[in-house]
Amino acid sequence: MSAAIDLASYAGSDPIFTIAEEVFGAMIDTEPETLREWFGPAPGFGDPTYAWVDVGGESPGRVLLTTERSTATRVTRGLLGLGPDEAVEDADFVDALGEVANVLGGNVKALVPDPGALSLPRVSHAAPDGPVRDLVHELLLDWRGACLVISVWSLP
């Protein structure tokens, strides 16, 4: 899926930001325009959560969402319509983050000509293991002051 995303054809707008904006606006945050690009370098994540899907085919790739666990918990609350003090079950946390990765991945996959099948999502507090080839694209997002990173990788 590597070089197949032709960002130049989107007239200066990042199509992955547009996808993320739609995902947050429709599924996670009822208040409009709470998602923007993060300015500056990414902060280090002390307690990270990783959620990803892989795309098969002749040019396999991975769409990976990385954020702080506390931010991932807030994302889960948003998806489930929970209040800020309501507890989040582990199963719901994994399910919700996986579904965010699934929707991001499915929409990124649509940018690529002739992609293969989308894998089921995976969620972990450890970075995905196994070899990757190249970082194709990285987008840093600011959601209500918290940083989320969407990265697209080509796989061997």
Q: Does 15 bind another protein (CB under 8 A)?
A: no
CA distance 43 to 9: 30
Q: How many residues bind another protein (CB under 8 A)?
A: 25
Beta strands in the chain (DSSP E): 35-37, 48-55, 61-68, 122-124, 134-143, 146-154
Q: Does 110 bind another protein (CB under 8 A)?
A: yes
Q: Which is nearer to another protein, 39 or 90 (CB)?
A: 90
Q: In the set 51, 65, 96, 149, which binds another protein (CB under 8 A)?
A: 96
Q: In the set 67, 71, 73, 102, which binds another protein (CB under 8 A)?
A: 102
Q: Does 106 bind another protein (CB under 8 A)?
A: yes
Applying CB under 8 A, which part among 2-10, 102-110, 132-140, 145-153 lies near another protein?
A: 102-110
Distances (CA, A) of 137 to 7, 145, 151, 153: 9, 22, 6, 7
